Chains A and B, each alone.
Chain A
Amino acid sequence: MSAPIDQAVWTNLIEMTGGDVEFVDDLVDTYLADGERQVAALREAAAGGSADDLVRPAHSLKSSSLNVGALDLGALCRALEESARTGKVPDATQQVTAIATGFDEVRSALLAERAERAAG
């Protein structure tokens, strides 16, 4: 598996904000806080067995992940969203677990990047 954060998208994000790293830090915090909520919502939906309830959290986590450069996580979310839209997700629990793991890796990578920046 490649790095949790795509370097090109990440660089682009920083450029988009005009190099305002404080804002990027804020943005990352927003992403992480919301991401945690979406992962929790996915877990609940998988446990409840409702494919419908998977759609929105998967969709939401997908779009913010893609923007933050978490392309693999975004792809996982997209796959889940698509199958959830069909109404049947036999391996929902497995998919959600993969997403949760992916999100944890993304979080570690983002926080490590911030720590590096602070140190460097």
Chain B
Amino acid sequence: MTPPGGNGASLPGRILVVDDTPFNRQLLARLLRGLGHEPVEAVDGRQALARLRDADVPPIDVILLDIVMPEMDGYQVLAELRDDPALRHLPVIVISGVDELDSVVRCLEMGAADYLPKTVDPAILKARIASSLARKRLHDAEREAVDRQAASNEVLAIMSRSAFDLQVVLDAVVRAAVRLCRADYGVAYTLDGDAYRVAASAGGTPELDAWERDHPIRPGRDSLVGRVALIGQVISVDDVLADREYQATPGQHVGGYRTLIGIPIEEDGAVSGVLALTRNEVRAFGDGERALAIGFAEQAAIGIANARLLETIERQRGQLARFLSPQVAQLVSSPEGEALLAGHRREITAMFCDLRNFTTFSESAEPEEVLGFLRRYHATVGSLVVEHEGTLEHFAGDGIMVFFNDPAFQDDHAARAARMAMAVRERFVDIGDEWRRRGHVLQVGIGIATGYATMGRIGFEGRYDYGGVGNAIILASRLSGEAAAGEILLSQRTFAAVDGQVAAEPAGERQLKGFSRPMPVFRVTAGSGGDLVVAETATAAEAS
């Protein structure tokens, strides 16, 4: 005979004992405990089903079911289990007397896994329970694999759908991590300044959540997140109360968590966030759970990197909006705005500015250098657009297109364009010098053309630009392409319009792509010596 507690089953399970006879329940519970299992008792079928469906009762692994019971008998329980997808897989061992074999057959037909003689024999009990538990574990493992796959797919789907919405991605990651790593609470912290703040959480009470949100964590040995941040590695604390360095915070008291695991969310080798999972009981996270959590932290890292990329793009777009806003914002909000946006024909001056050698530069320089340079270039040109009240049509890498006389009327649109071009060239002297010292030759080439164009809203729902279509626009772009480093080329109409205001000279005729006849081209001579030309007419008078 096996002494209880001695040679217990290697795989402990939670066993629901359903029997209306107190003696039987008591004896079975005792024997199960002796085998290392955890018995849960129910006095009849109704109570058994209630326990199985009660979210507060931990999941049951195997049911030991008596057949003859008041309220709801064993057959009814089997029928209910069979009809419940959440419980259908639970192995049921029917407890039956030797004189009740007919009932056993009926129960097996109804889905029971096995039967146990009513005259209890611990050896048989042990073997039957072990076999049913093994069946349950196999089922659980299969379901877990399917679950993990599904959760992983779900997070990936969310990431591809909302790649740039960090909140959505982090929420999904934390939710999946809590569920699959069997944690009670999970938090994704992100670095904000010098402290880690809650960016997303799942599973916690509102109280705990509020506390954690109000208490950013700094790197240090006194907290899990602090330690992860400090060391940059996965940290497990099996019991916070037994950890000498851990300072139990009010958050720990509110949350009552005991076992913790923290995974660094890394970006370029720096800990830009921490995924923390906690359990309210002392139960270490297993290797599988740890590996899963690391996977989720990696997904969070991708989410953060994407969000940062978007932030950069948004910031640049925000800068554009700032340059555009005075005119376009006013236009859109005015009564005639809609008509203007719908399209109108007007004489404009278009200025196109781009960089010589930019392709070579962007191929030979580090990407950070190229971005840094573009940022400075855009900021410089952007501020000049505002200063000269131009309408920025677009920034595209090194190319910048600006209109004058639309949407706001400007009598001196050609001269404004020329003055802005000179200011760009002037500012570029310093930028160009700086880059020349770093070994890159970068110079602007600018083209300006005046003529009629159709202006208005271009694009599609959700992504509109204010832009124009017309020969003058194409011509400005071609002239910019023709311009040598530091050169500002004007079309004939622009030259005529600025006559007396900006000094310029003929620069011959050029065969330009898209134009059948050679076009006369003029070169701005004013300001090319390096003196800043910003005054309205004084400069022009001085130059001429």
B24 touching A67 by the CB < 8 A rule? yes
A18 touching B23 by the CB < 8 A rule? no
User: Which among B1-9, B243-251, B395-403, B455-463 touches the partner chain?
Assistant: B1-9
Q: Which residues of A contact B157 (CB under 8 A)?
A: none
User: Which among A43-51, A53-61, A91-99, A112-120 touches the partner chain?
Assistant: A53-61
Partner of A16, one of B5, B118, B120: B120
A27 touching B4 by the CB < 8 A rule? no
Q: Determine the distance from Cα of A64 to Cα of B5 in the docked complex, in whole angstroms.
A: 24
Q: Which residues of B contact A17 (CB under 8 A)?
A: 4, 30-31, 34
B22 touching A34 by the CB < 8 A rule? yes
User: For this complex, into which size category does the number of interface residues on chain B fall?
Assistant: 20 to 34
Interface string of B83-100 (1 = CB under 8 A from A): 000000000000001010
B30 touching A23 by the CB < 8 A rule? yes
- Residue B484 at the A interface, CB < 8 A? no
B3 touching A27 by the CB < 8 A rule? no
Q: Determine the distance from Cα of A23 to Cα of B24 in the docked complex, in whole angstroms.
A: 13
Q: Which residues of A contact B20 (CB under 8 A)?
A: 56, 60
Q: Which residues of A contact B99 (CB under 8 A)?
A: 78, 82
- Residue A68 at the B interface, CB < 8 A? yes
- Residue B219 at the A interface, CB < 8 A? no
Which secondary structure characterizes the binding site on chain B? loop
A66 touching B118 by the CB < 8 A rule? yes
A26 touching B1 by the CB < 8 A rule? no
Q: Determine the distance from Cα of A1 to Cα of B70 in the docked complex, in whole angstroms.
A: 33
Interface string of A11-29 (1 = CB under 8 A from B): 0100111100001001100
B1 touching A34 by the CB < 8 A rule? no
Within 8 A of A (CB), among B1-46: 1, 3-6, 20-24, 26-27, 30-31, 34
Partner of B1, one of A16, A23, A31: A16
B118 touching A30 by the CB < 8 A rule? no
Given A16-B4, A67-B23, A78-B99, 4 extra CB contacts under 8 A:
A16-B27, A18-B5, A64-B23, A82-B99
User: Please, could you name 13 A-B residue pairs with CB atoms under 8 Å apart, sorted by A?
Assistant: A15-B1, A16-B4, A16-B27, A16-B122, A17-B30, A17-B31, A31-B23, A56-B20, A64-B21, A64-B24, A66-B118, A67-B23, A78-B99
